[in-house]
Amino acid sequence: MNLYERLFARLNDAGVKYLVVGGVAVNLYGIERATGDLDLLVDLEDQNLKRFIDTANSLDLVPRAPVELDRILDPATRRAWIEEKGMMAFSMYDRVNSWFQVDILIHEPVSFSETYDKREEMDFEGTTVPVAPVETLISMKENTGRPQDEADAVHLRKILSEWDDE
């Protein structure tokens, strides 16, 4: 079982409410492109974050920043990171395979609950993975100013157009 499969399976088993966003979500929609991390939108509700932290600890994921993982539980800390450091995501990596990076969005670029209700359930190597809907990914990627995100939005719009033609 690869690292992605293990993470998705453990998150599901723990009942963590999350959505795959970013480059991996784009890949799951059938657009081939390289990505260096796994971006997750996690329900920032306290009990859900605790389940996420327990899962991350069980997989030996450690923060890239020199802080304890449980610091993400505190909304004031998250707000300070956003306002004072411009941090949008909390990064963790696997101690053994440092290339495996997981980024948790610490702000809600979209309403988690509304987006979660519209999620796509996709198969990833036999594990069901909740993925943000295409429309949400497009809106998240349109305003970043990064060329790769703009290209992703174009490809995602093309997928929507193809679906409409069917």
pLDDT, position 11: 98
CA distance 106 to 59: 20
Query: Taking the alpha carbons of 133, 78, 91, 62 in that order, is the dihedral positive or negative?
Result: negative
Among all chains, which residue has been given the structure tokens 């450690």? Answer: 62
Residues 89, 105 contacting (CB under 8 angstroms) = yes
pTM: 0.93
The two structure tokens encoding residue 69: 């993982």
CATH architecture of 3-132: 2-Layer Sandwich (3.30)
CA distance 55 to 8: 10
pLDDT, position 1: 64
Task: Name the residue ranges covered by the structural domains of the chain.
Answer: 3-132
Per-residue pLDDT of the chain (166 residues; tens, 9 = 90+): 689 999 999 999 999 999 999 999 999 998 888 888 999 999 999 999 999 999 999 999 999 999 999 999 999 999 999 999 999 999 999 999 989 999 999 988 889 999 999 999 999 989 999 999 999 999 988 878 888 888 989 899 988 887 777 6
